[in-house]
């Protein structure tokens, strides 16, 4: 965890450029200031309203439309835009990156990001792709908060021949933002995230839409009686549509593989229901329950009943 002692020391980076200021970009700003990790923070956003809001909230001292303007003089650049925009951003900022500058990102897919960004990073700078596994269903510059990364994992997927000093520095930066850091290949990241994040989101989006298109059950009934389980799906289905579009377009193979397995398993359960095989159902459900225990023991969720929803606002 970041401690206040950092404030008294020289910051790790003199100038941080955040390219994109949504939930993750704004949370990095809050957490970096909390830890005294950076001198100046500047930003860039394609959206005028976001630029105004980011300055108004004090997330950045200046916010540029063109990312190339934001990275000048920056020793740390973090791409926090939807991954579909990375290629254009990398092309724009490449020529402006100074010697020793570290470029990283927070995208939910990694192989496609390495493919799109690496070719545009000059030899005197360092690109180390990353992905903090943290989020809420909120988006935009007002959604960020300093605690978002506390106790969560951040995965870094450096190339085999990356600069070791740069890797150590970005690893330390994420630790001081509150995260634990794990290093793996971009390909393995994409496989792990396909099942722990991408397929769950796709399924959540899908069940919400299936419910919305029923003829014999009204939308208002779906909403009224959502506390039976459905509301948990709508929560993850409320995440940013553009960000998720880009995730699925850029992690196609792993997602299709995991979806295939999911559908196979679902057909087996469907069959057990059709033929009244109670034993198979109970066994399957009990198995799933034990995975939950592992997550609580690992500190990645809380066991509190109703998850802080006792007094709905």
Q: Does 206 bind a copy of itself (CB under 8 A)?
A: yes
Region 14-33 residues binding a copy of itself, contact defined as CB under 8 A? none
Q: Does 284 bind a copy of itself (CB under 8 A)?
A: yes
Kindly tell me which of 42 and 186 has the beta carbon lying closer to a copy of itself. 186
Region 141-160 residues binding a copy of itself, contact defined as CB under 8 A? 143, 145, 147-148, 150-153, 155
Q: Pick from 16, 55, 63: which is nearest to 35 by CA?
A: 16
Q: Does 48 bind a copy of itself (CB under 8 A)?
A: no
Cα 13–Cα 18–Cα 21 angle in degrees, nearest 5: 145
Kindly tell me which of 16 and 199 has the beta carbon lying closer to a copy of itself. 199
Q: Alpha-carbon distance 193 to 253, whole Å?
A: 12
Q: Which of 69, 91, 137, 159 binds a copy of itself (CB under 8 A)?
A: 137
Q: Does 211 bind a copy of itself (CB under 8 A)?
A: yes
Q: Which two tokens stand for residue 71?
A: 């990275």
Q: Which of 9, 123, 160, 289 binds a copy of itself (CB under 8 A)?
A: 289
Q: Does 93 bind a copy of itself (CB under 8 A)?
A: no
Q: Does 183 bind a copy of itself (CB under 8 A)?
A: no
Find tokens 């459905």 and name the residue. Answer: 230
Q: Which two tokens stand for residue 93?
A: 């900022």
Q: Which two tokens stand for residue 159?
A: 């190339």
Q: Are strands 130-132 and 38-44 parallel, antiparallel or unpaired?
A: unpaired
Kindly tell me which of 135 and 158 has the beta carbon lying closer to a copy of itself. 135
Kindly tell me which of 165 and 214 has the beta carbon lying closer to a copy of itself. 214
Cβ-based neighbour number of residue 1 at 10 Å: 13
Q: Alpha-carbon distance 101 to 168, whole Å?
A: 14
Cα 226–Cα 228–Cα 231 angle in degrees, nearest 5: 40
Q: Does 202 bind a copy of itself (CB under 8 A)?
A: yes
For the CB of residue 94, give the shortest distance to a copy of itself in the complex, in Å: 25
| Number of residues near a copy of itself (by CB under 8 A) | 117
Question: Do residues 107 and 242 make contact, with C-beta atoms less than 8 angstroms apart?
Answer: no
Where residue 38 falls (left for φ over 0; alpha for ψ -120 to 50; beta otherwise) is beta
Region 233-272 residues binding a copy of itself, contact defined as CB under 8 A? 233-239, 241-242, 244-246, 248-249, 252, 255-256, 258-259, 261-263, 265-266, 269-270, 272
């Amino acid at each position: 965890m970041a401690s206040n002692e950092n404030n008294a020391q020289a910051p790790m980076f003199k100038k941080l450029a955040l390219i994109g200021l949504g939930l993750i970009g704004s949370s990095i700003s809050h957490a970096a200031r909390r830890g005294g990790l950076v001198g100046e923070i500047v930003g860039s956003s394609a959206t005028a309203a976001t630029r105004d809001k980011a300055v108004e909230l004090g997330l950045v001292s200046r916010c540029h439309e063109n990312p190339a303007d934001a990275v000048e003089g920056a020793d740390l650049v973090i791409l926090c835009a939807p991954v579909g925009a990375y290629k254009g951003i990398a092309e724009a900022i490449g020529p402006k990156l100074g010697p020793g500058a570290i470029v990283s990102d927070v995208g939910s897919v990694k192989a496609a990001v390495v493919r799109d960004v690496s070719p545009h990073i000059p030899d005197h700078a360092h690109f180390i792709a990353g992905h903090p596994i943290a989020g809420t269903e909120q988006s935009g510059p007002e959604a960020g908060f300093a605690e978002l990364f506390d106790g969560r994992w951040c995965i870094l997927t450096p190339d085999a021949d990356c600069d070791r000093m740069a890797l150590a520095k970005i690893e330390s930066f994420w630790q001081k933002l509150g995260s634990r850091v794990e290093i793996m290949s971009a390909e393995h990241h994409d496989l792990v995230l396909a099942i722990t994040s991408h397929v769950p989101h796709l399924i959540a989006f899908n069940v919400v839409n299936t419910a919305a298109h029923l003829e014999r059950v009204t939308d208002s009934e779906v909403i009224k009686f959502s506390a039976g389980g459905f509301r948990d799906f709508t929560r993850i289905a409320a995440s940013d549509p553009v960000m998720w579009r880009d995730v699925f377009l850029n992690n196609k193979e792993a997602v299709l593989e995991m979806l295939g397995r999911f559908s196979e398993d679902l057909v087996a359960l469907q069959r057990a229901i059709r033929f009244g095989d109670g034993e198979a159902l109970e066994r399957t459900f009990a198995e799933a329950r034990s995975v939950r225990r592992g997550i609580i023991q690992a500190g990645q969720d809380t066991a509190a009943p109703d998850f802080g929803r006792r007094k709905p606002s």
